[in-house]
Amino acid sequence: MAAPDPFSLDDFASIPDPIGGASTRPTPAPVPPDGASPTRDQRRRRNLIAGGFGVTWVVFLVWRLGVRGNIGDAGLLASLVVWTALTVGGLALALRTNPRGLPQSLRVVQIVLLALASVYVAGVLVRDVTAPNVPIHWSNVIGCLTWAHILALGPLAVAALIFRRSFLSFPAWRGAVVGAACGLGGAIGIHAHCVVETASHVLVAHGLVIVVSALVGAALGARQGRL
Amino acid sequence: MDESLLNAAMDRYACGDPRAFAALHQALHPRLLAYLTRMSGSPVLADDLLQETFLRMHRARSTFATGGAVIPWAYAIARNVHIDHARAARLRATERLPSDPGSETVDRGGVDAESAAIAAEAARAVERVLARIPASQRDAFVLIRYEGLSVIDAAAILGTTPTAVKLRAFRAYEALRAELEELKREAPARARGRVEGGADGRS
């Protein structure tokens, strides 16, 4: 025999409804709200264009900066592919809805956020095993740091537009995931350009943008992300 | 209206069919109005918040997932509207208060009036407790008990797990039950007081 549920909801009906009559008021005639509102197809097209712009922004800037000479190296390519897959997959997982069309729980969003950061760091540390230990210096960092942020700026601006007033719950956390994904885009872009493999350089000069973008995403989400 | 028909109407509305709005309004208006009245404690304010809810639903119709359920989606938007209002109200240094305990006129003449007075007192006690307990517990309890949503839908609206929602709702229920039992214990003494008060008034 199953044990009785200590948190049974069966007795909830014994609690009276303080406003029992409110729902019996007559429903007024429907007045459709004014104002432009995109349809599902229009939004899909807009998102496709915006996503394409974000990717093009990163690819174009990396092409202008110059792709690093050893881009064909198997280990490097593997890192870039894993990070790209992580960005796309993580974003899809965090933003997809459940079968009832409602958003994922906060726990899923937090796990994705943690995964984005930790897989990036793990990738850097694995690559660093064979790299020479070059001490970190401000002059070596500032260039990559700046370009990483510029690379992330395009996707971030596009995301701010796409996800404005679109999160049903926890807009700051969901904004943080979107921001981190944009930051990861910037980190991938600068990593495809810069040849320095030292963990300290890659983590700070290439990776700091993930943290900054996540914070910007969280702030934007909290401010204008709530639906 | 059947839930699947309502979901289909929302699907049509998301695809740009303006005629679907009437069906949505007809089905959702009473439910959302009751919910917002419970959350805000004011029928007048609830009317305003409901207008804002329908406006947000209209603006965000394209984000409604194909094949999704419109009822929990609409509740989630209504909850956001209430949260935004409550935050703005907090900024204006005002807060929700339970209904004025002396605002209702009670006919003290008969047995029915007596039970009506007890029911009104219980309702006020429920309001008081709902205003006092943490918002997370109130949200969970209201969505499950009064709005009739499933634990899974309530969890998705609140962005948490079904277990957490169940626990929060149960905590709210315990607080409410304790308050109502207290009220029940005090009821005979209060009734005696009313009778004695009435006798004094007649002499």
Q: How many CA atoms lie within 13 A of B41 on its CB side?
A: 18
Q: Which residues of B touch A11 (CB under 8 A)?
A: 173, 177
Let me know: does B125 contact A15? Beta carbons within 8 Å.
no
Each domain of chain A, given as residue ranges in start order, spans: 66-224
Q: Is A20 helix (H, G, I), strand (E, B) or coil?
A: coil
Each domain of chain B, given as residue ranges in start order, spans: 1-96, 107-203
**CATH architecture for residues B107-203:** Orthogonal Bundle (1.10)
Tens-place pLDDT, residues B71-100 = 999 999 999 999 999 888 876 654 445 554
Tens-place pLDDT, residues A138-193 = 777 899 999 999 999 999 999 999 999 999 989 999 999 999 999 999 999 999 99
Could you report the average pLDDT of every consecutive run of 10 residues in chain B (203 residues)? 89 92 93 90 90 94 92 94 88 53 42 72 86 90 92 90 92 90 75 56 42
Which of A7, A42, A96, A111 best probes binding to B when mutated, by most B CB atoms within 10 angstroms? A7
Q: Which residues of B touch A168 (CB under 8 A)?
A: 73, 76-77, 80, 157, 159
Tens-place pLDDT, residues A182-225 = 999 999 999 999 998 888 899 999 999 999 999 999 999 999 99
Report CA dihedral (A227, B4, B5, B11) to the nearest 10 degrees: 40
Quick one: which of A175, A28, A37, A30 has its CA closest to B57? A37
- Token output for A127: 């690559």
Average pLDDT of the residues in A66-84 = 92
CB contact under 8 A, B63 and A43: yes
pLDDT at A24: 60
Q: Is A97 helix (H, G, I), strand (E, B) or coil?
A: strand
For domain B1-96, the CATH class is mainly alpha
Which residue in the block uniquely carries the two structure tokens 């069906």? B23
CB contact under 8 A, A27 and B26: yes
ipTM: 0.84
